[in-house]
Structure 1
Amino acid sequence: MVVPARDEEVLLPACLESVRVARDALHLAHPEMHTEVFVVLDVCHDDTAGVVARHGVRAVTSRAGNVGAARALGVETAAEWAGDRGALWIASTDADSVVPPHWLLTQVRLAAEGRDLVVGTVSPRPVDLSPEVLAAWHARHTLSDGHEHVHGANLGFSLDAYLHVGGFAPLPVHEDVELVEAMRCASLDWVATGAIAVTTSGRRTARAPLGFASYLEGLGA
């Protein structure tokens, strides 16, 4: 699992706890599977590194200040960790997000069915938004199977598929959209599912320019 983080000491604990629950569920069903979490510390100045250490997952340091480069470094490190363990599946979320307990189980099932890419849905925490902005969000988003949205906070893909299209580009925003589009254009087997909804922060202060927070800010304008 790859989780980019920039100054996320407040929200990262909930993310990592949800990932722990998802890992436990996967290991219970598939004890033969190996998993690891890589949190990419992208120019952090707070105690994000301390949070990572206390949760017993792996920290990867990036000085790029760029989410695309951070995600790419996380995948590269995961591939090095996997070594000769066989086929590697990368699950991607964000440090301000909470994944459901069946998040990994569902991705593994879809991968076993032959999928190279799984695109999940993301919704902002209702308590973070006004009723008007929340209504505007839901009016613009489909959260069922076959949805058209792409979020780095809820992606899964095989390492082979990732390498086939050249991986994450070092973009400050929409690196997730570009990767998914490249996989689709390469005629890889993919699915957009509403079965593994991720909840993310509805904050309006952006970590990435023109990213999710900026989009929410636009809805409230």
Structure 2
Amino acid sequence: MQPAVICVPARDERSEIPSLIRTVAAQEADAPIRLVLLANHCRDGTAERARELAAAEPRLQLRLLEVEFPSHEAHAGSARRAAVQAGADWLCELGAHETGVVLSTDADARLPPGWLIANLRALASGAEVVGGRIEAEDTSSNPLPAAIRGMASHIGAYWQAVRALSDSIDPLPHDPPPRHGDHTGASLAVALPWLRAVGGVPPLRSREDVALVEALEWAGARLRHAPDVWVEVSARQHGRAEGGMAAEMRRWATAPADAYHLPAASHWLRLARTRRAIRDGFHSGRLPDLAGYLGLEAASLTRIAAESPNDIACVARVCRLLPTGTAAQQEMVAAMREMRALAEPERVA
């Protein structure tokens, strides 16, 4: 089993810590389970409770960090960056500079017993970063509101249609279907050499996890959305991170599905075809020929092709230069139907 450390930032999460500690300690593994818990400005006894619970779990090795960030750094990005860096340092102490794996999750997560092993298996099969599917808690004791459950189902089907359309045009050998589309800090595994190569988690106020994945793909890392990697998170509608899942769920609670708008099918069709063209141009050595199609300078494309270690990096770097105008919006259900219709002809063509 590859040496691994699970890294969790927490802010006043005393009520959630018991479930986290219990499910981390229950991971199916043939080695001790290493957990870094960073208690960020906690005032509710989160650290004390975590220390007490971990002491009762003989398989769990806990490193507890209690941190008070300066006001300009007191946000989720700084906390996740510090937690992940502590995990990386621990792996280096173990001599696992080349083989170690850093895993990120959240304090309100419940990890299924096979989560750690499934992440390591996906990395061993040819990925450098693995995103896990995020499921909102929906139990008899804490049921998900019907409006949110229904909207989550519709939105999940929409994104499944986006992926199917993309797979029909620009299939990725390292991330084949069936796959999900989540790669957030609630379930993210990164090979240590790649984490160090990109400088760790960007210290952003929000969306630091998205920025980390973008940096990894810029460097050429293969991102796998393994279907057997998933976590459950609390369904609270008042979360700790700005612009996180809680904020999105508040939108779902009041928006009817037949009036909910997301990027149009035409947007995803154009994006998939553009990414396919860039990838083909990289492999054929004719990327500069796409200058007119992409609206970029041939010299820039020549430089990007020369500097990119693989097609993943090339696509990421070229797409960063493309115009980022607001995507046309379309009613969600109509967009989903159109994408499903588009995917089959593209697959046959």
Alignment TM-score, normalising by the size of structure 2: 0.58
How far the C-alpha of 1:80 sits from its partner, in A, is 2.1
Inter-partner Cα distance in structure 1 for 2:210 and 2:64: 25
**Matched residues, number:** 214
How far the C-alpha of 1:118 sits from its partner, in A, is 0.5
Aligned to 1:7: 12
The higher-RCO structure (CA 8 Å, 6+ apart) is 1
Aligned to 1:26: 29
Aligned to 1:61: 66
How far the C-alpha of 1:123 sits from its partner, in A, is 0.9
Counterpart of 2:95 (choices 61, 72, 85) is: 85
Q: Which amino acid aligns with 1:42?
A: N
Counterpart of 2:149 (choices 129, 134, 137) is: 134
Inter-partner Cα distance in structure 2 for 1:138 and 1:16: 29
The alpha-carbon distance between structure 1 residues 88 and 211, as it changes in their structure 2 partners (threshold 3 A), is same
DSSP 3-state at the match of 1:91: strand
Aligned to 1:42: 40
Counterpart of 1:218 (choices 251, 254, 264) is: 251
Comparing 90-99 with 75-84, which one deviates more in the overlay?
75-84
The alpha-carbon distance between structure 1 residues 94 and 112, as it changes in their structure 2 partners (threshold 3 A), is same
Q: Which amino acid aligns with 2:41?
A: V
DSSP 3-state at the match of 1:134: helix
1:162 to 2:195 alignment: yes
Q: Indicate conservation of the 8 Å contact 2:130/2:183, yes or no.
A: no
Q: Which amino acid aligns with 1:39?
A: L
How far the C-alpha of 1:103 sits from its partner, in A, is 0.5
Aligned to 1:191: 224
Counterpart of 1:94 (choices 81, 106, 118) is: 106
DSSP 3-state at the match of 2:8: strand
Shift >4 Å, 4+ stretches:
none
Q: 5+ unaligned residues in a row in structure 2: which ranges? A: 1-5, 55-61, 161-176, 255-349
Inter-partner Cα distance in structure 2 for 1:20 and 1:145: 29
Aligned to 1:120: 132
For 1:77-99, what per-residue CA distance to the aligned partner results, in whole angstroms no more than 9, with x for missing partners? 12222224222101111000101
DSSP 3-state at the match of 1:58: strand
Inter-partner Cα distance in structure 2 for 1:106 and 1:47: 32
Aligned to 2:82: 73
Counterpart of 2:22 (choices 7, 17, 25) is: 17
Inter-partner Cα distance in structure 2 for 1:148 and 1:96: 20
Inter-partner Cα distance in structure 1 for 2:235 and 2:109: 10
DSSP 3-state at the match of 1:118: strand
Q: Indicate conservation of the 8 Å contact 1:9/1:51, yes or no.
A: yes
How far the C-alpha of 1:148 sits from its partner, in A, is 2.2
Q: Which amino acid aligns with 1:19?
A: V
Mapping 1:197-212, distance limit 5 Å: 197-212=230-245
Structure showing the higher helix proportion among its residues: 2
Q: 5+ unaligned residues in a row in structure 1: which ranges? A: none
Inter-partner Cα distance in structure 2 for 1:124 and 1:68: 22
How far the C-alpha of 1:128 sits from its partner, in A, is 4.5
Q: Which amino acid aligns with 1:85?
A: G
Q: Indicate conservation of the 8 Å contact 2:84/2:104, yes or no.
A: no
Q: Indicate conservation of the 8 Å contact 1:145/1:195, yes or no.
A: no
Comparing 70-79 with 116-125, which one deviates more in the overlay?
70-79
Alignment TM-score, normalising by the size of structure 1: 0.90
Q: Which amino acid aligns with 2:215?
A: A
Inter-partner Cα distance in structure 2 for 1:186 and 1:145: 25
Q: Which of the pair has more CA radius of gyration?
A: 2
